Structure 1
């Protein structure tokens, strides 16, 4: 199953990743690094167009990041003490329900 939309931080911002997503028909909202903005401005008319960026969609990424941060408060989940994927998934589900 493919995601319909990917929201990524500045670390995921590369031409290769954007092209890979585009070829698979996945839309994306990825923040642009400041050095890329500067390079494009320095190139002037020879520089490429800036990628489409929707601030409203990008704000939803914060909800997911906070959820991961809260899950990492559980020592068993953060260090992955469980031997099997099934027990780890159960621990994540239990911690999510308790939150």
Structure 2
């Protein structure tokens, strides 16, 4: 039996639980799917991202403003969001 076969049910349950908590938090105005809100708050419990998704852009470290530029593929907004959340204990 592979390691993934053992871990997949746990992982799927964890992700499903995080999604349910996210929807509950949104219904109480304590959560958001809006990237601008997430960038401003930074202190989120969990950030769920599709590992294959990319969004060109950066977060200004001073103002937390999102700067997007479709032509500049050098920076990934999701990477900046991930680093911001991890730095704040999410």
Both proteins in one fold, TM over 0.5: no
TM-score computed with the length of structure 1 as normaliser? 0.28
Q: Name the larger-Rg structure.
A: 1
TM-score computed with the length of structure 2 as normaliser? 0.30
User: Larger helix proportion, structure 1 or 2?
Assistant: 1
